[in-house]
Amino acid sequence: MFLIAQAFGVVAWIFFIVSYYSKRLNKVILMQMVSDILYCINYALLGAWTGFFVSLFEMFKELGYYKTDKDKYIFIFTIPIYVLIAFISENSILVIIPIIASLIDGFGIINSKKAAVVGGIVSNLLWIVYDLCYLDYVVVLTDIAVVVSNFSIVFYGYTKFLKRDNVYTVSGIYITNDTISKLNELDKEYYDSEYIWTVQNMRELYKSEKNSYILVKDGSKIIGYVNFLNLKKDIYDNMMESDKIYDTFIPQDIIPYNKNQYNYVSINSIVLKNEYQNKDSINKMVNAINKYLKAKESKGYKIAELNSFAVNSFETIILEKLEFKKAKKINNECYLYALKFHNDV
């Protein structure tokens, strides 16, 4: 049984490492879930029931981080779950070690990248103690590899070691007030003051269309976003005719998508942190926008035309990759772009 447990640990480690070389996000998630299941079997065979339950729960917790924007809520929800795990696990002081390790790791993930790296070091050191107590040598080696990797990141710099091809997009989710505050912080970092809405204005306009955002994430961190506004026809026309940036909207300007008439959509914001602006991330954002629009069309919401103001070079790159055309020059740094979806309109 001991040797079989070690074998499951080896295979779990292989699946985990290989997952990072997968190009598609869904394959990364699938392979890491398989790895988590194998680790669970490894712990069960060794009678390490706290490790089993914590690993099983973390599998679903991480899936929640990937698929939603509710990272802090997920972390808070973990606390009573860990209390339950402590009661149903082995009757030993060892129960507390993996629980504390998982909580430290989770706390780091929902905070800064530096906190995630340092939290990963502390968490895996605790896992090493726990795994040694159950003679889980293969998993101990895995933990050591993670600790060494995180120390390398701390001492030699984040940019060199942290991969940028782990960026992924999430759409069709309901945005929380906390997330809107994060998006507003991104706006302040990458837009001039005259282009920034207040948090309150963002929240008011968001109420009109609950799933009007695409989030760009690295792990659980929001690193960029795209915002769509489905506008009344006269408001859209005003934007196209204006000689200035037209973005002072009120909730009544935003309407639900309608299957009985053509829809006129404005891409209001396209933001991505500078350090992530590479070919891979740009292509993922372009594909996500196309997928969002095609999903609307497939549900019967015909989109007549889209427009967007490009106020920086990054927005220009995205819009031109989407095959938007320059409609007019607003000023030296801003162009209005447009794209017709249906030529018969």
Q: Give long-range contacts, CB 8 A cutoff, 24+ apart: 81-88.
A: 81/57, 82/54, 82/57, 85/50, 85/53, 85/54, 85/57, 86/50, 88/49, 88/53
> C-alpha distances in angstroms, 106 versus 9, 61, 212, 251?
23, 9, 28, 37
Q: Which range is least confidently modeled, 95-104, 176-185, 226-235? A: 176-185
Residue 162 has a pLDDT of: 45
Q: Is residue 159 pLDDT above 80, yes or no?
A: no
Q: Is residue 160 pLDDT above 60, yes or no?
A: no
Q: Which range is least confidently modeled, 72-86, 157-171, 227-241, 271-285? A: 157-171
Confidence band, pLDDT 50/70/90 cuts, at residue 156: low
Q: Is residue 189 pLDDT above 90, yes or no?
A: no
Q: Is residue 164 pLDDT above 60, yes or no?
A: no
Residue 13 has a pLDDT of: 83
Regarding predicted confidence, which is higher, 22 or 315?
A: 315
Q: Which residues on neighbouring strands pair with residue 303, listed in sequence order?
A: 263
Regarding predicted confidence, which is higher, 111 or 322?
A: 322
Residue 265 has a pLDDT of: 95
Question: What average pLDDT is seen over the chain?
Answer: 83
The structural domains of the chain, with segments of one domain joined by +, span: 2-161, 167-340
Q: Is residue 158 pLDDT above 60, yes or no?
A: no
Domain 167-340 has CATH 3.40.630.30: yes
pLDDT digits (tens, 9 = 90+) for 229-265: 999 999 999 999 988 888 888 888 999 899 999 999 9
Regarding predicted confidence, which is higher, 30 or 210?
A: 30
Residue 161 has a pLDDT of: 41
Instruction: Look up residue 254 and give its DSSP letter.
Output: B
Q: Is residue 338 pLDDT above 50, yes or no?
A: yes
Query: For the whole model, what pTM was predicted?
Result: 0.59
Confidence band, pLDDT 50/70/90 cuts, at residue 208: low
Q: Is residue 113 pLDDT above 70, yes or no?
A: no
Q: Which whole number is the average pLDDT over 215-219?
A: 86
Helix axes of 25-45 and 2-19: crossing angle, nearest 10 degrees:
170
Confidence band, pLDDT 50/70/90 cuts, at residue 275: confident
Residue 44 has a pLDDT of: 92
Q: Is residue 147 pLDDT above 50, yes or no?
A: yes
- The torsion angles phi and psi of 343, rounded to 5 degrees, stand at -70, -15
Residue 210 has a pLDDT of: 65
Confidence band, pLDDT 50/70/90 cuts, at residue 25: low
Q: Is residue 180 pLDDT above 50, yes or no?
A: yes
Whole-angstrom Cα distance, residue 149 to residue 117? Answer: 9
Q: Is residue 124 pLDDT above 50, yes or no?
A: yes
pLDDT digits (tens, 9 = 90+) for 72-94: 778 888 889 988 988 888 777 88
- The torsion angles phi and psi of 173, rounded to 5 degrees, stand at -110, 165
Confidence band, pLDDT 50/70/90 cuts, at residue 67: low
Whole-angstrom Cα distance, residue 339 to residue 69? Answer: 30
